[in-house]
Structure 1
Amino acid sequence: MSPESTHPAPTWVEGAAGSLWDVDNLPYGVFGPRDSDEPARVGVRVGDLVLDLAPVAAAEMLEVAHVFEAPSLNPLLSLGRGSWSAVRQWAVSLLTDEAARGLVEPHLLPVAEVELQLPFQVADYVDFYCSLEHASNVGRIFRPDDEPLKPNWRHLPVGYHGRAGTVVVSGTGVRRPCGQRLTPGADGPPQPSYGPSTRLDIETELGFVVGAPTAIGERVGTAGFADHVFGVLPLNDWSARDIQAWEYVPLGPFLGKSFATSVAGWVTPLEALDAARVDLPGQQPEPLDYLRVGPGAGYDIDFEVLLDGETVARPPYASMYWSPAQMLAHLTVNGASLRAGDLFASGTVSGAERGQRGSLLELSWGGTEPFTAGGRERTFLEDGDTVTLRATAPGARGGRIALGEVTGTILPATG
């Protein structure tokens, strides 16, 4: 395996050079050919093709060849940072060395002819709340007579435990959830009632996929982030705002969040984002020692939110207050263990401008200020709506790389 340079050699794969899926990207996914009973296995995307890694690794008799035959990235995740880097260097070499072309080219499949699976088995799922702009907006909407931020917000990355079993891959339909929500009372204040959510929303987020595990009682400092996090993917934490508003005091989100979380089918390796590293916007007051980070702790990733094919927002991840290294450090500071396949997410990404808000709650200011999409005024999601999140970041070759997109369509409630 030859080392990958800062600027990889040009790829021989037709149409990939200079694209959003050049060799400075190479995200991993789990795929199977469409309309086929072939077992799912691990591949990397280059251009508009997927490289089936299992037969190539077997032909080269790689010691880790078996991990590419699995219907999940979890065996690869468990290998740790040294193996992740070596596998990436090997894949780059295969796709840039003309001498490897005869071996590799028969195992390149068009993206349009494969079906992506959930890329990893989700062990645990934690969602954070790390955008200052989003947290401030939500505070003003939900608690208009109170301070937007609670006293703890600038001292620690606030989060909650989600439901791993309802994390689904992009393209999976999202059923409108039912639950308790307040409705106007006939002769008095609002009363709780049961029924489908009428304020269904999205949350534009970046998810982080954990590989290397830890033992119970072990902590991961901010400097250990890259040793434990394999890669990233866009994530949509669907939210039923009416159910959430009634249930979240005093213990936080529950049924308003746990019905579905959608993730992209491609996991971008952390190393592919080296050129996207940026400083955090600034933290005041200075965090406690275990949360301190140096320069380059943030990421310059630009999101795009599409509602039924129309762009309605462009949230900038570079504006996030808390870094992913701080999220992981706080997640484990009490000794909570990590497992391969753990997923933690940033919380909604929102910027300072209205067009940078990463949720419909913010775009419509709680439903009181509709935004325009499809030539009409909109607030929350309607049955049949399709939401797509896209993201790009600077790449090592001087252009941009794409993260896998995540899409979901709202299905009517049942029961």
Structure 2
Amino acid sequence: MAPASWLPVSRASPFSLANIPFGVISTAASHSPRPATVIGDHVIDLKVFAEKGGFSRLEQIRDHLSVFSKPNLNSFAALGQPAHVSVRCFLQEVFSETTSCPEVLRDNMALRQEVIVPLKDTVSHLPLEIGDYTDFFAGINHAFTVGSLFRGPQNALQPNYKHLPVGYHSRASSVVVSGTPVRRPWGQILTNPAAEPKIPTFSPSRRLDIELELGAFVCSANPLGQPVPVDQAVQSIFGYVLMNDWSARDLQTWEYVPLGPFNAKNFATTISPWIVLPEALKPFATVGIENDTKLLPYLQESNSKNQYDISLRVQLSTMGI
């Protein structure tokens, strides 16, 4: 059960006090993008909160307040997980119904008017500047379904699938925040795959597909060529977003051999605007589906609860609905 907040939160809201995600917003009063968090139907402007002394009691962040004046969350993410956790915990305490520091915001009406903004009155932006983007083929059911489309059920999974993380680098510049219009891509397709010779036609995609996925932002870099031990990898995670990996399946079946996805997969990737920290997902950590193939030692994790039990649902609305 989520802790109670003095700021009203609907039971149906995904932004309870147990969450405290981070994003980037702008408003009609200030068009400059800046960091924020959200509780219920209200956004907390962290730039103003920091400038007005809201974090003065949080010693760990006191020398890094400038991160909340940036147009994205990169600088905040680079502070590392201990800083993220301390800011999240402090904000939970500030907004707790039984807060030990009511003077910071609950009883400070002037500051409340400056930092608390209705969510409906804000514009969400891409939360981080993305320098690189790797797409992993992580879900076995998804991999089997897509593999069946291209190779049939008997050869759906490639021999390497259960041995290593299968992934490819996609186009970071095509990652957009949720709500951004996506244009149907054009490319080469085979209108009759059984025909000989196989002559493609240039056409808009007729098999546009969506993939509901979980995206992860990395907050720390490792020296070039120096791998991160698998048990330390989780410490490099800033947080998670929902992701739609748009796919043009008819383009993909023609172009993916022999080097993999290209235009069919890089024309758009949509992510949710609010980044949920690993700390908020701890209660949902669980033992996942057991791999019936023994991994090589460098991929064997000591923590068996290395997946999250999260229920996801897709609701599709067409122009006719």
What is the TM-score with the length of structure 1 in the denominator? 0.69
Q: Deviation digits for residues 153-193 of structure 1, max 9, x if unmatched?
A: 01011111000000000000000001111123898444111
Asked whether the 8 Å contact 1:16–1:46 carries over to 2, the reply is no
How far has the Cα of 1:37 moved from its partner? Answer: 4.6
How far apart, CA to CA, are the structure 1 residues paired with 2:10 and 2:75? 28
In the other structure, the counterpart of 1:209 is: 217
How far apart, CA to CA, are the structure 2 residues paired with 1:163 and 1:136? 24
Ranges in structure 1 where 5+ consecutive residues have no aligned partner: 1-6, 309-373, 375-383, 387-415
Q: Aligned pair 1:244/2:238, yes or no? A: no
Q: Aligned pair 1:77/2:82, yes or no? A: no
Asked whether the 8 Å contact 1:183–1:190 carries over to 2, the reply is no
Identity %: 37
Count matched residues: 305
In the other structure, the counterpart of 1:39 is: 32
**Structure 2 counterpart SS, 1:179:** strand
Runs (4+) of structure 1 exceeding 6 A deviation are: none
Tell which deviates more after alignment, 7-16 or 235-244.
7-16
Q: Aligned pair 1:24/2:31, yes or no? A: no
Q: Aligned pair 1:11/2:16, yes or no? A: no
Asked whether the 8 Å contact 1:307–1:385 carries over to 2, the reply is no
How far apart, CA to CA, are the structure 2 residues paired with 1:146 and 1:19? 43
Quick one: structure 1 residues 186 and 248, their matched pair in 2 at CA, closer, same or farther if it must change by over 3 Å?
closer
Tell me which amino acid in the other structure corresponds to 1:63.
Answer: D
**Structure 1 counterpart SS, 2:138:** coil
Asked whether the 8 Å contact 2:50–2:65 carries over to 1, the reply is yes
What is the TM-score with the length of structure 2 in the denominator? 0.89
How far has the Cα of 1:105 moved from its partner? Answer: 2.4
Greater share of strand: 1
How far apart, CA to CA, are the structure 2 residues paired with 1:67 and 1:219? 28
Ranges in structure 2 where 5+ consecutive residues have no aligned partner: 57-61
Asked whether the 8 Å contact 2:2–2:16 carries over to 1, the reply is no
In the other structure, the counterpart of 2:49 is: 56
Higher relative contact order (CA 8 A, sep 6+): 1
How far has the Cα of 1:228 moved from its partner? Answer: 0.6
How far apart, CA to CA, are the structure 2 residues paired with 1:150 and 1:271? 35
Quick one: structure 1 residues 55 and 155, their matched pair in 2 at CA, closer, same or farther if it must change by over 3 Å?
same
Q: Deviation digits for residues 375-408 of structure 1, max 9, x if unmatched?
A: xxxxxxxxx589xxxxxxxxxxxxxxxxxxxxxx
How far apart, CA to CA, are the structure 2 residues paired with 1:56 and 1:213? 29
Tell which deviates more after alignment, 199-208 or 189-198.
189-198
Q: Deviation digits for residues 198-248 of structure 1, max 9, x if unmatched?
A: 111111100001111111022112221332101000000100101110011
Quick one: structure 1 residues 277 and 192, their matched pair in 2 at CA, closer, same or farther if it must change by over 3 Å?
same
How far apart, CA to CA, are the structure 2 residues paired with 1:268 and 1:254? 29
Asked whether the 8 Å contact 1:81–1:212 carries over to 2, the reply is no
**Structure 2 counterpart SS, 1:268:** coil
Tell me which amino acid in the other structure corresponds to 1:25.
Answer: N
Quick one: structure 1 residues 199 and 9, their matched pair in 2 at CA, closer, same or farther if it must change by over 3 Å?
closer
How far apart, CA to CA, are the structure 2 residues paired with 1:171 and 1:122? 18
RMSD of aligned residue pairs (Cα, Å): 2.2
